[in-house]
Structure 1
Amino acid sequence: MTSGGHDRACSPRWVGLTTPDLRITQDFYSAVLGWTWRASEADERFRLALSGGDPVASVSEAASGLRAAARWTPFFVTEGADGIAARIHERGGTVGVGPLPFGTGRVALASDAHGAVFGFWEGAVFPGWPTGRARRPAWLELRTRDTFAAALFYGQIFGWTAEDGTCTVEYGNEEVVVREAGVKAAVIRGGAVESAPDPQVRPRWRVHFRVADVDAAVAAATAAGGAVVTPAASSPGAEREATLRDPIGGSFRVTTG
C-alpha cells in the first residue's frame, strides 16, 4: 500500500490495534465483525484481520511485561516517512516511535499538536498483499477541541490541498470532512475551544467499521464479553450507528453508512 506520489496519502489508509491479549481480541472481533486471521511472517505477535479474504486491519500483542491500552490507531501511508516526521515536528506534533523497519516498509507512531495518536507507514505495509486488495474502514473520526487547527495540522503534513485533486476538504459547523477520490475518508469534529480542557478527555481518532446490521453487531458484542458505550441509533444521514468496547477496552463504532 503506497501512495501515488507527493510523498503522502491524504487520508488514513489503515487501522491497527495493540492489545495485551491477542486471543481474546481475535475471538471478539471474529464474533462481532466476522473477521478471520492470518499470522504475519514479520512478527509472531502480529495478526492481519481479513474480511472476505481481504486485509482490513491489524492487531498486535504488546510485549510481555508491558501494559498497553487497547486503542485503535489510524495509519497514513506515505512514500516519504522522514519528510512526514520532519513536518510533524515543525508543526508542534511529536514522533514517539520510529520510523522503524517493519516487514518491507517503515512505520512510525506520532501525536498531533493536541495529543491525538496516529501512525504513518512508508513502503509496502504488509508483504504479499497487493495495494488494491486492502479495504479501508468505513471512515475515521478525529474528536478534538479545535476542529480547524487540527485540519490545518493534518492538511499541511499530508497535503490535503495538493493540486492533483485526489483529496478534497469540506468545512462546516465545527466539522471538517476529508474525501479521497470522492469518498468520505475522515471527519474532524470539535468544539468548546474557549472552555477549559477536561483532563479526563484526550483528543483521539475513532474508527468506524461498516456492518450490514448494527443491532446484530451490538448483540454479538455483548455476548462476546464487550460493552455498549453508545446504544444503536439512526443519524440524520440515515446511517445507524453504535459505539462498542471490546473486552480489553478498545472502543470503535459500527455503522451502516
Structure 2
Amino acid sequence: MNHDMTFPESGEGLLTTHSVYGAPCWVSLTSRDLEATEAFYSAVLGWRWRQAKLGEPFRIALAEGVPVAGIAAVAGMWQMAVAWTPYFAVRGADEAVSRAQERGGTTAVGPISLPPGRAALLADRDGASFGVWEGELFTDWEAWRTSRPAFIRLHTRDAFDAAIFYGEIFDWASGEGCCEVRYEGDEVVLRQEGEVVARIESGALGAAPDPAVRPHWQIHFAVRDVAACARAAERHGGGVLSLGGDEAVLRDAEGAQFTVTARRLGS
C-alpha cells in the first residue's frame, strides 16, 4: 500500500471537510527521486513547486498558483510503492477508519495529526489504496475540484460491491454528504453539484468480476492538449500506455500511472 501523506500547510484553508463531506479533496504521489519527479510533472503538466513544512523530501505542486497535489520522495527510503493516492473529505478521521475496518477495509497509517487536520491511509476490501482527510481544505478548493484533477476513477473487480463499501463510509446515499451517487451505463458515478468527481468501473455491472483487474484509483488531470502531454511524457522518461480521443493514460519516469483528460481549465 502507498503511504504518502503530503498536504498544504496550516492557514491555507478557506473551508473545512464538513462542507465537502464525502468528496475527493486532495491527491498525493509517492516517488523516489524528487528532482526527477519535479522535472517530469513540470514538463508534462506545467506545475511549479514549493517545499512543504513536513521536510525536504516533500513538495506541494502548484498550477497557476493553486495547490493541486502533494509529492513525497520517500518511496525508496520507506520501501513504498510509487503511486498516486486520492483523499476523501470526512467529518472525522477516526469514524471513517472505524467504518472502513468494520466493512473489511484495512488501515496502513493513522489517523494521525497533520495540522491543520488529521489523516489516515487505508485500503478497500480489494486492496485499492485511498486516504481520508479531516480538517481545513485549500485555497480556492472550487478551482482545484473543477480543473486539476478533473476526477478520479476506481478500476476494480466489482463496481457494485465497491460502491457499497465507499458509500457506507462516506454516506453517499444518505443525503448527509455533499455528493450523490448513481449508476450511469456500466459505471457508478459520484457527482458534486452536478459535476463528476469520481467514477467506479469494473466492466458491465451485470457481468462477473474480472479477476485480472488489480484494483486501484486512477487520477485524471485536466489538460488543454492531451497529445502534447503524451509527447512530453515520452520525452522526459515516461511512457504512453494508451492514447485516444480526449484522454491518455500515462506513466511517469518512475512508473506511477495517471490519466490526462481534455477539458477547458477553470470551467
TM-score by length of 1: 0.88
State which of 63, 66, 86 in structure 1 corresponds to 2:78: 66
What RMSD in Å do the two structures reach over aligned CA positions? Answer: 2.0
* Pairwise CA distance, 1:24: 0.6
| Ranges in structure 2 where 5+ consecutive residues have no aligned partner | 1-14
Change (3 A) 1:45 1:134: farther
CA contact (8 A) 1:2 1:131 kept: no
State which of 104, 115, 136 in structure 2 corresponds to 1:92: 104
The aligned amino acid for 2:33 is D
State which of 156, 159, 169 in structure 2 corresponds to 1:144: 156
Partner of 1:2: 16
> How many residues matched?
244
Change (3 A) 1:196 1:53: closer
Partner of 1:135: 144
Tell me, yes or no, if structure 1 residue 79 matches structure 2 residue 91.
yes
Partner of 1:254: 260
| Ranges in structure 1 where 5+ consecutive residues have no aligned partner | 235-239
TM-score by length of 2: 0.85
CA contact (8 A) 1:32 1:221 kept: yes
Alignment of 1:228-243 (within 5 A): 228-231=240-243, 233-234=244-245, 240-243=246-249
CA contact (8 A) 1:54 1:133 kept: no
The aligned amino acid for 2:199 is V
Work out the CA distance in 2 between the residues paired with 1:85 and 1:145: 22
* Pairwise CA distance, 1:139: 0.5
Q: Deviations over 1:168-199 (max 9, x none)?
A: 1121343111001111000000037636723x
Tell me, yes or no, if structure 1 residue 30 matches structure 2 residue 42.
yes
CA contact (8 A) 2:152 2:218 kept: yes
Work out the CA distance in 2 between the residues paired with 1:19 and 1:251: 12
3-state DSSP of counterpart to 1:4: helix
The aligned amino acid for 1:152 is I
3-state DSSP of counterpart to 1:151: helix
State which of 122, 134, 152 in structure 2 corresponds to 1:122: 134
- Percent identity reads 46
Change (3 A) 1:195 1:13: closer
